[in-house]
Chain A
């Protein structure tokens, strides 16, 4: 009674003489449509259930893998699409597992027997000929198959949404495990490179190299060593800024030139009737030469000028009727330069103040220019008048703004070739101080005396800078060393 039931309890019962001693019963003597139908339906549900279960597990695993690989190794999304093979594998495994769980025909018989309260007749019919009892099995009550699949579908939908999010999420939203979150900086730098290339400030080859460098910096960005990445990005930023600054300077210069010429052209149009024809012709020639020179330097102006106008400028024979066209071309050139600056400002390569400077480029006292041109009677006066709109000519200098304008000349240029320099090793403290110092400007003027309070003026600290640590490095001549030693060795009184 208290013995544990051995696992072969069935065999004990089956060994009863005359009871089950009919040999292993056949699972089914004949195929019963109701049994086969129920088994198929049950099998379908079980297979689908297993497939949903495994698909949920796989999609969750896949999504987590996608997030991990994208965040850690920055693996391209297209590579991770190979996970679709796992979907096929999950479905195949679901089919296999589901089929394994499909009940046997004998079990289905037992279910139908119980459901129909047939007292074992249907089960007996599977094992032996039940003869006249078959009449009781004519109409077999069938159970309804119910599967509460809502939870399974909800889980699969959730995992699929997770997977989609893992694929579609931008890099900047992904957790940076071990990496630096520099996505926004990379994007900004990429936009700057793109702008510089579009504005033809950077040649395409150079832009390509920079883009490659940028991508590599992003891939090699590690949280444990951010200095390297930041240094690379700073270097890239500086390169781009320098190129943009140079381009902006050029654009401003060209806008200035175009503005001045436009002002001169307008003034010539206005003063045409009052001017001496000869001086007017000379002024027109000067303007044509200026335009030709500017067109050679500015691609925008060259594009804006028609061939006829270009030829006229080159030959210095600008007609009165072409003045208007030249004005329009110069205006167009200035607007092009302004648009270029706008784009550089948009990506924050240059300061917005540059745009205001561009707007002011070429502005001058047009009335004064018209007045000066109208009063020109000789070449010298014409030169003075034209100097008003020449950017290379300095303004009126001298106290009170009087005196004739003079061109700044650079003569007796100093060269360091042949000069001798005395090398001197700085003391550590001085070297450190020098490293910490900041260059604020250079002057070629004469040295001036130090202001009071700058340094010590006497004693052992004569000339020493405050905070320079020089008091500890006072030079003691050898002949004074013994004397000083005796001073320190003297008996204390």
Chain B
């Protein structure tokens, strides 16, 4: 994530509209490629605009890989795929030094770049590799660079890791290390599609092959989208709400809910707050607004926080999931932080006032 100078004023409608149109075009093409996944596509695009890595979880065959491939095509970015297996080694991802003969007949160690040197890396079934191999991605995901034998090589810009993983309950999977989980902006769950969607897929696509996107975004258009993202305005009240939300996910917090106190061992990290702020900006851009509202935070909070909460054994006994806890936090916290007494409430009315 690069920093630019702060904009002097809010994005004007003239500046915002092209970006919104571009984002809408990308979303529409993704919806054409994968049917019935509009909300997931929106979240994935929000993650890309936030320059974050995304973890997709779902059973094999639900379309995770296809979605990521389609994203690469729509955004006209270089795309590589690594199928993670238990015997995959870190060098299989990052690259390695090989001994080559030079023209003069001598020998030298030459770096052979791995598949990580791309714009979009699809880490398919990431949790089938050993933790050692999974950890090979830590530096790449955080610093966007690879260091081997003392040499640091920068990865192409932009760089995203879009990983898919099978549910942890499946045989032959390793849980991702917490440090790596925390580096993913979102964890999105890809569920089964509805019957009518399946019917559409079967009836409209031969062998299920998706159509090729007809109007992918160019590099300039992608840059235009990222520029608009830089000028999205985050009001102070919203940033405070994000901070309170993340702080409340810790059991010892004053605003923690009963579920948090009971089931959570460790809450979300400061990285989660930063990720939520970025993702909220992207979500507001996709909604066609120049500033972030509370509803944007509420929309992205479950995807940002659900893989960052470490639950205790009691949660497993009571079958309480991370999403339920996050939803409880969203329901209990007052966005504006008014702290009104319980008997004083602001309710909806039909009245309107002048500004």
Contacts and interface: CB of A to CB of B under 8 A. Distances in A.
Interface of A: 1-6, 9-10, 12-14, 16-22, 25, 32-35, 37-38, 42, 45-46, 49, 101, 103, 106-111, 113-115, 117-134, 137-149, 151-152
Contacts of B236: 20, 25, 106, 123, 127
Nearest to A36: B353
A124 B291 CA distance: 7
A5 B352 contact: no
A101 B179 CA distance: 41
Contact of A110 (B237, B246, B354): B237
B160 to A, nearest CB: 19
Given A21-B6, A131-B9, A144-B346, A114 B293 contact: yes
A32 B353 CA distance: 9
A467 B214 CA distance: 135
Contacts of A115: 346, 348
A404 B340 CA distance: 109
Which of B179, B270, B273 has the most C-beta atoms of chain A within 10 angstroms of its own C-beta?
B270
A133 B288 CA distance: 12
A1 B353 contact: no
Given A4-B252, A124-B233, 20 more contacts: A2-B178, A2-B310, A5-B250, A9-B243, A9-B247, A10-B243, A12-B274, A19-B6, A20-B239, A35-B355, A109-B237, A111-B336, A114-B294, A130-B9, A131-B12, A133-B13, A139-B352, A139-B353, A144-B348, A145-B346
B152 interface: no
Interface centre among A4, A32, A149 (most CB of B within 10 A): A4
Nearest to B10: A130
A131 B16 CA distance: 13
A2 B346 contact: no
Interface stretch (B58-66, B96-104, B203-211, B261-269): B261-269
A25 B295 CA distance: 21
A5 to B, nearest CB: 5
Given A33-B353, A128-B10, A120 B266 contact: no
Interface residues of B, number: 69
Contacts of B346: 111, 115, 143-146
B292 A119 contact: yes
Given A20-B236, A107-B338, A9 B246 contact: yes
20 contacts: A4-B267, A9-B246, A16-B277, A18-B6, A107-B237, A111-B338, A117-B293, A119-B291, A119-B295, A121-B289, A123-B236, A123-B238, A129-B9, A134-B355, A140-B354, A141-B351, A142-B353, A144-B347, A147-B345, A148-B343
Contact of A16 (B238, B246, B252, B274): B274
A22 B9 CA distance: 10
Nearest to A24: B236
B242 interface: yes
B348 A113 contact: no
Given A1-B268, A1-B269, A145 B182 contact: no
A4 B267 CA distance: 7
Given A18-B230, A107-B337, A137-B355, A123 B12 contact: no
A2 B179 CA distance: 9
B308 interface: yes
A37 B295 contact: no
Contacts of B239: 10, 13-14, 20
Contacts of A111: 336, 338, 346
A120 B292 contact: yes
B355 A123 contact: no
A187 B346 CA distance: 59
B194 interface: no
Nearest to A37: B353
B348 A34 contact: no
B220 interface: no
A130 B231 CA distance: 13
